[in-house]
Structure 1
């Protein structure tokens, strides 16, 4: 969503072709796109999978953060759901159970989308993947961001004090990644990630020079991948903009514990079903009963 909202905000600055070129580099469709993507109609709700991936040389990588957004232009509402990385889920591409963040290592974006679709029983229409290691480049490209740290902590030699502060990309990456010192664990980390994303969007909308935009587009081009085309981004910006004014953020409660020799965040069938139907309502889909994951081992 970072790239979508920043890019959509650039259209009034006469740099359409530069933006179009960058979007073309970021574009990578899913095999199932033609069967799932709704027609762009002002009344059709959509879902977007936001994926922050930890990719390093010689390593396929795993998803470091996962957020599902459902956007309904009729009700003018957006729902954001953060999925804890340790959530126990059925990994579609491997036909087995594991932590949901392993879905990317096994099946890439395609496998992750399939796993999320099965876990929540909703279609994933679009995705935006951000390379977390290059996340700092995007923050630096907008001139840094303002955050309000709820407590002081140190991660990998970088100290972040409590309170309001302006931070650069390197510090922002640590701020968005830390979870072991957070009293709320992964839930606290998810909240900080959403804070940084919101601030990137804000700072990106304040840029005034073409040089700044070129730096930002270069950072996005290197670190973002999506199945959204330029025309689709423009259509979303025009038709779904009002829904961004009313954003509801949801968390997925569960129990932490060992299953075999692996620690999981285990979500009950009742919780998963209730969440699924909330999202299905947002997407104008009928309620359905979910297959009980807890009975499958």
Structure 2
């Protein structure tokens, strides 16, 4: 009889332990489902906020689910209250999901070029955004590159750049130069960790760099690649709320949420194979006028061919 009672107590304890385990499991499942539901809602609302197609431009979207190559115009704009600003950074990027290769071409902001739709005089390429927003900057970049079209664009507020770096938990880059400094902040040579404020300073350095604007362009490309890799890394999902807040406050694009999902799935391998292209030219003043970076027609043709090759 005693053995029977003991056995019953054991079974009750087992059932009680099983109920506790199932309850904990249920709570975990509910938390995950609730989290994913919130994540989906948050992501959707963020992309609804930043999705801004270029007015009057024909839809040039590509078959991202089939790894079709595509091009992106990346504009880094210094926008302040009451000032539309100019495109401090202009990068033409091509992405090939079949060869897993990304090209990033930084066009110097002082590059002399015509601005379609404004007037018949040459201007600095960074003025295109100030004169006609993303639409005019897009048309000007295509004209400068002898007809390379842009399927998409991303406009980043450079002041909010630091928010994005902080949102992914900081980044690591390799500084290849000694003596880089700006406003009392210096960066040692080698691998360095950057928070948002440091990253913004790092990409703005120009005068203490022997390569001047070209060195700054390389660092901008370097930091953007580091942010992208960190944002797509496993475990970063726990920071997704901060990332989406930073994106929603500082970015405009004609990418949709579906586009980004397909790119993350089908083009991820290209992130580790980035080719940085450089515009060759000469700086100078025309008859005592403003300083320009002058690019020859043959150089523009060369850049066109390089980008076209990666676009198949």
TM-score, normalization: structure 2? 0.80
Superposed CA offset, 1:211-260 (max 9, x none)? 62211110111001100111122222333334434322211110111123
Unmatched segments (≥5 aa) in structure 2: 1-34
Q: 2:282 aligns with which of 255, 271, 279?
A: 255
Contact 2:179 2:208 in 1 (8 A): no
The CA RMSD over aligned residues, in Å, is: 2.1
Structure 1 residue aligned with 2:143? 118
Query: In 1, Cα distance between the equivalents of 2:76 and 2:179?
Result: 24
Over 3 Å counting, the alpha-carbon distance change for 1:283 and 1:206 in structure 2 is closer
Over 3 Å counting, the alpha-carbon distance change for 1:248 and 1:148 in structure 2 is closer
Superposed CA offset, 1:86-105 (max 9, x none)? 11111113123111111110
Q: How far off is 1:75 after superposition?
A: 3.3
Answer yes or no: is 1:144 the counterpart of 2:144. Answer: no
Q: Which has the larger radius of gyration?
A: 2
Mapping for residues 1-297 of structure 1, pairs under 5 Å: 14=36, 15-40=39-64, 42=66, 44-95=68-119, 96-120=121-145, 121-149=147-175, 150-206=177-233, 208=235, 212-260=239-287, 261-284=289-312
Contact 2:225 2:271 in 1 (8 A): no
Q: Which stretch of the first structure deviates more once superposed, 151-160 or 220-229?
A: 151-160
Contact 1:148 1:162 in 2 (8 A): yes
Q: How far off is 1:208 after superposition?
A: 3.3
Over 3 Å counting, the alpha-carbon distance change for 1:168 and 1:241 in structure 2 is closer
Query: In 1, Cα distance between the equivalents of 2:67 and 2:191?
Result: 40
Count of equivalent residues: 272
Query: In 1, Cα distance between the equivalents of 2:84 and 2:47?
Result: 24
Over 3 Å counting, the alpha-carbon distance change for 1:240 and 1:208 in structure 2 is closer
More strand by share: 1
Contact 1:93 1:103 in 2 (8 A): no
Superposed CA offset, 1:190-211 (max 9, x none)? 1111221122223334473766
Over 3 Å counting, the alpha-carbon distance change for 1:92 and 1:193 in structure 2 is same
Unmatched segments (≥5 aa) in structure 1: 1-12, 285-297
More helix by share: 2
Query: In 1, Cα distance between the equivalents of 2:221 and 2:247?
Result: 18
